[in-house]
Amino acid sequence: MALVPFDDRDGFIWFDGAMVPWREAKLHVLSHGLHYASAVFEGERAYSGTIFRLRAHTERLIASGRILGFEVPYTVEQIEAACRQVLAANNLTDAYVRPIAWRGSEMLAVSAQHTRIHLAIACWPWPNMFGEARMKGVRLGIADWKRPHPETAPTASKAAGLYMIGTLAKHKAEAEGFDDALMLDWRGQVAEETGANIFFVFDGEVHTPIPDCFLNGITRRTVMSIARHNQMKVVERVIMPDELTRATEAFVAGTAAEVTPVREIGPYRFTPGDITFRLAKDYEALVHMQPAEVEARAPI
Ligand code: PMP
């Protein structure tokens, strides 16, 4: 597949309050966000013209900035309007939406109290992170990099800096022929995939790790809500890797990954099954509903 570079496309990007031609959405190389990772972002999906759980994503963007010590200079309503405008400007109804906020170039040192906070929002077609064959189950390696202790990094923020080890883990997994990597945390507990949360089926119950050092994803909470609505038992608990021999199904859940079965994690094997397919199907139906209906059917 030919790669279309992200800086050389037709379309528009919302940038600091204005809709600018895609190729002109540039920033200076001496931006604090680039040098010191003072950036937070979101990953959203629009389905049939409506951005799924836009309120939750927008509130998380603002909260992520506050964790990094800055205030995104727009209201929730302004950011939501900008997300919708950028979809419309690009004539897209089904797309991935990427808001990103970062510290500018007024100061370039560890201390950057007086930098301007910028916000850009782009969108592009991205059918699914794992492509067409994903329902057969993806294959994950186990990463060497560990999710850090929450006193070591701002783990509750969707901060760009946290993705540094994600990219290292995913590149290694890909080099070994896997689709992605499962990350353990610093204690050796199962944490998450590099860009999605993880779930397992044990004895017909849905089990997932406690999100105390990684994102408590919007999709994760949505899937738990759907599962409970289906009378499934949902358990958040410490999961150690050696327990995975007993799990029958595994799947990941995230905005980009949606609900995707996992058939392999390192030495462990799973068979995509009824519980995963049921949750994937219900999630797929939910994302096409209007916000009020989503809130009523799957409160998070
Ligand atoms: N963990 C990581 C590291 C992620 O990047 C994502 C995607 N934002 C998730 C979990 C899942 O979060 P969400 O369901 O809110 O997209």
DSSP string, 51-64: ETTHHHHHHHHHHH
In 3-state terms, what secondary structure has residue 200?
Answer: strand
- Is residue 152 included in any domain, yes or no? yes
- Is residue 7 included in any domain, yes or no? no
Ligand 1 centroid to Cα of residue 106, in Å, is: 31
In 3-state terms, what secondary structure has residue 258?
Answer: strand
DSSP sequence for 212-227: SSS---HHHHHHHHHH
Atom of ligand 1 nearest to the CA of 222: 14
- Is residue 2 included in any domain, yes or no? no
- Is residue 141 included in any domain, yes or no? yes
**Is there a single domain that holds both residue 199 and residue 292?**
yes
Each residue's pLDDT tens digit, 162-171: 999 999 999 9
**Is there a single domain that holds both residue 71 and residue 49?**
yes
- Is residue 4 included in any domain, yes or no? no
**Is there a single domain that holds both residue 205 and residue 65?**
no
**Is there a single domain that holds both residue 286 and residue 151?**
yes
Atom of ligand 1 nearest to the CA of 166: 3
Backbone φ and ψ of 169, nearest 5°: -65, -45
**Is there a single domain that holds both residue 39 and residue 140?**
no
User: Across the chain, what does the average pLDDT equal?
Assistant: 97
- Side-chain half-sphere of 209: how many Cα atoms within 13 Å? 31
What residues make up the domain containing 242?
Answer: 134-297
Atom of ligand 1 nearest to the CA of 197: 10
Each residue's pLDDT tens digit, 228-277: 999 999 999 999 999 999 999 999 999 999 999 999 999 999 999 999 99
Determine the distance from the C-alpha atom of residue 131 to the mean position of all C-alpha atoms in its chain, rounded to a whole number: 16
CATH of the domain at 274: 3.20.10.10
Encoded amino acid at 152, one letter: T
**pLDDT average, residue stretch 46-67:** 98
pLDDT category of residue 128 using cuts at 50, 70 and 90: confident
Active-site position among 26, 158, 172, 233: 158
| Of 158, 190, 216, best ligand 1 pocket probe by most atoms within 8 Å of the beta carbon | 158
**Is there a single domain that holds both residue 113 and residue 89?**
yes
Ligand 1 centroid to Cα of residue 197, in Å, is: 6
Q: What is the crossing angle of helices 274-287 and 218-229, to 10°?
A: 110
pLDDT category of residue 134 using cuts at 50, 70 and 90: confident
Ligand 1 centroid to Cα of residue 276, in Å, is: 18
- Is residue 247 included in any domain, yes or no? yes
Give the span between the Cα atoms of 296 and 300, in whole angstroms: 10
Domain final position from 124, 158, 174: 124
- Is residue 3 included in any domain, yes or no? no
**Is there a single domain that holds both residue 74 and residue 148?**
no
Can 158 be counted among the known catalytic residues? yes
**Is there a single domain that holds both residue 33 and residue 106?**
yes
| Of 45, 53, 219, best ligand 1 pocket probe by most atoms within 8 Å of the beta carbon | 219
272 burial (CB, 10 Å; 0-12 / 13-18 / 19+) is buried
- Is residue 129 included in any domain, yes or no? no
- Given a contact cutoff of 8 angstroms between Cβ atoms, the answer to whether 68 and 159 are in contact is yes
- Given a contact cutoff of 8 angstroms between Cβ atoms, the answer to whether 230 and 206 are in contact is no
Question: What integer pLDDT is reported at residue 163 of this predicted model?
Answer: 98
pLDDT category of residue 130 using cuts at 50, 70 and 90: confident
Contacts within 8 Å (CB) and 24+ apart, 220-226: 220/253, 220/254, 221/300, 222/53, 222/253, 222/283, 222/286, 222/298, 222/300, 223/199, 223/253, 223/259, 223/279, 223/283, 224/300, 225/298, 225/299, 225/300, 226/279, 226/282, 226/283, 226/286, 226/298
Atom of ligand 1 nearest to the CA of 60: 15
Ligand 1 centroid to Cα of residue 215, in Å, is: 6
Give the span between the Cα atoms of 139 and 177, in whole angstroms: 9
CATH of the domain at 100: 3.30.470.10
Give the span between the Cα atoms of 102 and 27, in whole angstroms: 11
How many domains does the chain divide into?
2
Backbone φ and ψ of 100, nearest 5°: -140, 135
Ligand 1 centroid to Cα of residue 195, in Å, is: 5
**Is there a single domain that holds both residue 113 and residue 140?**
no
175 burial (CB, 10 Å; 0-12 / 13-18 / 19+) is exposed
In this predicted structure, the answer to whether residue 10 has a pLDDT above a threshold of 70 is yes
Q: Which residue minimizes the CA distance to atom 3 of ligand 1? A: 195
